[in-house]
Amino acid sequence: MDRTKRFLFHTVLWLAVWLMAWLLMTDDAGFAKKNTPSFLLQIVVIAVLIYYTAPALLFKKKYVPFILISLALIVFCAAIISEPVLGLFSGQPPREAGPPRPMRPRVPPQFLIHFLIMSIAYVLATFVETFLFAQKKEEETIRNKNENLQTELKLLKSQINPHFLFNSLNNIYALSVTNSEKTQQGISTLSNMLRYVLYECEQAYVPIGKEVAYIKDYLAMYVLKSSKTYPIHTEFQIKNDTVQVAPMLFIPFVENALKHGNLEKITDAFLKISIFSDDRKIHFEIENSIPKESMQKDKMGGIGLENVKKRLEILYPKKHSLKLQKELTTFKVQLHIDLNGKH
């Protein structure tokens, strides 16, 4: 709500309080006409307090100065209205000289009436303004948080892409040394992968069918570098290829498994990858063998898995479960994503 709308709202609020006082305390038909100047003065005072004093003091948590200044202005305004100068605010002429009147009470009832009316209107207006201020601050906080999250996501994705390119080029180099026919096939596969990474992955979410296709291409690139048969087993049960998922979410787990699985050297090495998906959930599981000595020499996971954890916290807060299970000769990852209410 902009300042003009807020001012109109406060004016209407103040008018309602004034009319209520008129109806309750007087039956004088000329009440409104005679008291219009005082009504306008009170609007000005309230506006000064709301639009200048509150932002300068209240919203900066300077409560004591805010209360003192507010009381001073309200008392001053109420005093002027209840003791009009030259009849300016009451519509009545100044009193003529005459015999002294009986002494008034120390606090005139008229002053109390105006003080209470102004105080009620001011408290209500301050409450509304404070609520709007808090709402605006919350919106700014959410907007800044979203901007920070988007920046962090871009940074995390930028860390994935060079890593992917470096590994893929290494595979192409290995192919060029051993077999020219596979090199051509590898370049074609790499072209598809690059297209996916550079264009599709710019989106916040991609169809899970494309993510699975990328994993298949990645594995194809890996096995092309050698003539041996790798013990890699995959199972993909995707009921709906168009279900949306964050791009490059599973590939760090695949990279980690291939890096630590040592499929070329371990006799009983293996790698199992499975993805089950429907419209409500995605379940990803990957398990790989690891040499016994790797648990002491190298920490499993590293930057890639930490990257995924951060992305999951940002993209699927309280909608995912990630379980990493380390054994003496195996490493297993289970990731479950709840898609309810998520794309």
Asked if the structure places residue 219 within a domain, the reply is no
Asked if the structure places residue 320 within a domain, the reply is yes
pLDDT lower than 70: segments of the chain = 1-3, 6-7, 10-11, 13-14, 17-36, 83-108, 144, 146-165, 167, 178-180, 266, 293-304, 341-343
Q: What is the pLDDT of residues 139-164, one digit of tens each?
A: 877 776 766 666 665 655 555 556 66
C-beta of residue 253 within 8 angstroms of C-beta of residue 286:
yes
337 backbone φψ class: left, alpha, beta (φ>0; ψ -120 to 50): beta
Domain count across the chain: 2
- Specify the CATH number for the domain of residue 292: 3.30.565.10
Whether 237 and 121 share a structural domain: no
pLDDT in the model for residue 302:
57
Asked if the structure places residue 11 within a domain, the reply is yes
Asked if the structure places residue 314 within a domain, the reply is yes
Whether 243 and 134 share a structural domain: no
Whether 9 and 120 share a structural domain: yes
R_g of the chain computed on alpha carbons: 37
Identify the H or E element spanning 336: strand 330-338
Asked if the structure places residue 185 within a domain, the reply is no
pLDDT in the model for residue 113:
74
Q: Which residues contact 130 (CB under 8 A, 6 or more apart)?
A: 54, 58, 59
pLDDT in the model for residue 24:
61
Whether the model clears a pTM of 0.85, i.e. scores above it, the answer is: no
Asked if the structure places residue 152 within a domain, the reply is no
Q: Which domain holds residue 89?
A: 3-93+102-140
pLDDT in the model for residue 85:
46
Whether 132 and 241 share a structural domain: no
pLDDT in the model for residue 338:
95
CA dist 6 → 11, 136, 174, 296, 302 (Å) = 9, 13, 69, 66, 54
Q: What is the pLDDT of residues 294-312, one digit of tens each?
A: 544 445 555 667 878 888 9
pLDDT in the model for residue 343:
45
Closest CA to 161 of 194, 138, 132: 194
Alpha helix (H) ranges present in 26-108?
A: 31-48, 54-56, 63-82
> CA-to-CA distance for 176 and 182, rounded, in angstroms?
8
pLDDT in the model for residue 285:
97
Classify burial at 296, counting beta carbons within 10 Å of its beta carbon; exposed 0-12, middle 13-18, buried 19 or more.
Answer: exposed
Asked if the structure places residue 255 within a domain, the reply is yes
pLDDT in the model for residue 282:
96
pLDDT in the model for residue 261:
80
b/e sequence 66-104, b meaning 16+ C-beta within 10 Å: beebbeebbeebbebbbebeeeebbeeeeeeeeeeeeee
pLDDT in the model for residue 61:
84
Whether 246 and 130 share a structural domain: no
Ordered DSSP codes for 200-260: GGGSS-EEHHHHHHHHHHHHHHHHHT-SSPP-EEEEEEES-TT-EE-TTSSHHHHHHHHHH
Whether 245 and 134 share a structural domain: no
CA 246 to chain CA centroid, Å, is 18
Work out the mean pLDDT of the chain and round it to a whole number.
77
Which of residues 111, 140, 169 is at a domain's end?
Answer: 140
Identify the H or E element spanning 335: strand 330-338
